[in-house]
Structure 1
């Protein structure tokens, strides 16, 4: 006799599901264990706070006692993280069941409360893995969004307290594409960058923002006998519109902007449904002159966005410099009004 394949698959599914639940259960218990250890250390430290160096002595002594019995998971550094974990999340009701200890190790390193709350909301909403969360923190997603938004707007969108009404609320500038594995010193054609994006589509979707789904690559359109190809087409369910990407591995020109505007106009007239919002065009470029972009586009433009890309993670100083440039631009614009 031969067992039915359906029976085998059913039992395999039960086993796999049980294993997943067991792993999640173990991780949940680990998070709670570290929180409780942090609570005990913090409360004991508070009782002996008048004694100089008591906190340092306490953790060092605990580590020397616990490590031989329970292993390297109770090092001085780990116990210090437990204490910081409790200090950062003093209420167990604030802990998220879908977050692992690796998630929390990343979160407790974030000192700014607004910034930490942003990553908590985004990680929970988008079901980020611990690695994805760490990558978004390292690529300084929060700071990049602040270049064109204020803190309240960024947090409101992250917490689902408001739906984004402007593409700039979810589109970053610059975009960080280090996951493509391309060397920053090398020269690339648009087709090379496009192929790398398709190969790493999941990571690219995570980078460009919430609500995106892939529609087409090299989408052909015909206008009075002339044929054109749009590099990448996406749809954003939050903005309820098509989003067209044109890739330029050189500095942006006003001709590039005009070309993308034509593609946007075509989609608005022939592809967009009545219930959908106007199409958005994004020029992903190696470099740009913001003044050229501003002069080329109408003053009330909300449909064409020029976003630089970089093939490496930004440093904190780079983002500080970007913020300073943005503030200087705003001050200059106000003076000219």
Structure 2
């Protein structure tokens, strides 16, 4: 007799799911423990006459008592985080069971409430690990998406209260590709960047955003006697549209935009089904001239866009200046209309 492989697969799936639930349960119990500790310390602090001085004394004394017995998880610094945790998340019933203590500790370090709400929703919805959450915070995901969206819409999409209907609601500019391991000073070919993206596809999908799945690399299209190859093809289930990405290792030109427009037109005519939305084209480049993009494309263009990529994590001040520049440019355009 031969054992049915499907039965083994089902049992393996049951075991794996049970183990994952057990780990999440333990992680959340730890979260609840730190929340309760924070509550006790905070409420005791409020009873002190000189709250600031008493709070410092209280945390120091508790740490000195607990640390020899329970270890470094109860140091002064950790107890401080517990109090901050309780103050920022006072409703225990609102805590997300999917998130562990490391993730919550990252969140409570975010001062801006709306920014924190965004990352909380995205981490929960996308099942980000602590490392992925930290990477998204450090790469200024919130600020990058804010360049093309207002805060309320951005948070509504994150909370799944609104389904994105415009490409700019989820597509970032710039894209941060530090995980590819390519040095920004080095010279490399477009195929090198493409290969690095495929080798790091999971991280690239995370950077692209919600709802993306990989379809093809170097997708061949045949027009009469000529062959053309699209660098990367994805599909986004939220936008219900194909997403074509062309890679350029230099500054974009109007010829690049024309080529991408041809690929998008091809997909709209021969690949897209009636229920799907128009194909989106993204030109991924090291630099771009916004005026060239604007003049080269039709006035009603909503599907072709250029996005700069960076091979390093940007400094927050650098990105804030860029956001301010875009805001001022949009304001000027609105006044000129």
Q: With the length of structure 2 as denominator, give the TM-score of the two structures.
A: 0.95
RMSD of Structure 2 on Structure 1 (CA): 1.8
- Give the secondary-structure state (helix, strand or coil) at the position aligned to 2:325: helix
| Partners of 1:227 and 1:52 in 2: CA distance | 72
Change (3 A) 1:152 1:165: same
Confirm whether residue 199 of structure 1 aligns to residue 202 of structure 2: no
8 Å contact from structure 2 (residues 144, 172) kept in 1:
yes
Instruction: Spell out, residue by residue over 1:103-158, the C-alpha distance to the aligned partner (whole angstroms, 9 max, x if none).
Output: 10111111111111111111111111111111111111000000111101101111
8 Å contact from structure 1 (residues 49, 55) kept in 2:
no
| Partners of 1:86 and 1:79 in 2: CA distance | 11
Q: With the length of structure 1 as denominator, give the TM-score of the two structures.
A: 0.95
Change (3 A) 1:83 1:12: same
Confirm whether residue 185 of structure 1 aligns to residue 189 of structure 2: no
How far residue 335 of structure 1 moved from its aligned partner, in angstroms, is 3.6
**1:297 corresponds to which residue?**
297
Change (3 A) 1:96 1:52: closer
How far residue 336 of structure 1 moved from its aligned partner, in angstroms, is 2.6
**2:175 corresponds to which residue?**
175
Instruction: Spell out, residue by residue over 1:247-304, the C-alpha distance to the aligned partner (whole angstroms, 9 max, x if none).
Output: 0000010000000000000111111111111100000000000011111111111010
Change (3 A) 1:204 1:63: same
Change (3 A) 1:15 1:237: closer
**1:42 corresponds to which residue?**
42
**1:218 corresponds to which residue?**
218
- Give the secondary-structure state (helix, strand or coil) at the position aligned to 2:57: helix
**1:147 corresponds to which residue?**
147
How far residue 28 of structure 1 moved from its aligned partner, in angstroms, is 1.4
- Give the secondary-structure state (helix, strand or coil) at the position aligned to 2:80: helix
| Partners of 1:51 and 1:168 in 2: CA distance | 47
8 Å contact from structure 2 (residues 184, 311) kept in 1:
yes
**Paired residue total:** 336
| Partners of 2:157 and 2:221 in 1: CA distance | 34
- Give the secondary-structure state (helix, strand or coil) at the position aligned to 1:277: coil
| Partners of 2:10 and 2:276 in 1: CA distance | 42
Which residues of structure 2 form unaligned runs of 5+?
Answer: none
How far residue 16 of structure 1 moved from its aligned partner, in angstroms, is 4.7
Where do residues 14-93 of structure 1 align in structure 2 (5 Å cutoff)? 16-51=16-51, 53-93=53-93
Which residues of structure 1 form unaligned runs of 5+?
Answer: none
Confirm whether residue 263 of structure 1 aligns to residue 266 of structure 2: no
8 Å contact from structure 2 (residues 145, 154) kept in 1:
yes
Instruction: Spell out, residue by residue over 1:67-113, the C-alpha distance to the aligned partner (whole angstroms, 9 max, x if none).
Output: 01111111110000000110110001110111111110111111111
How far residue 25 of structure 1 moved from its aligned partner, in angstroms, is 2.1
Change (3 A) 1:65 1:310: same
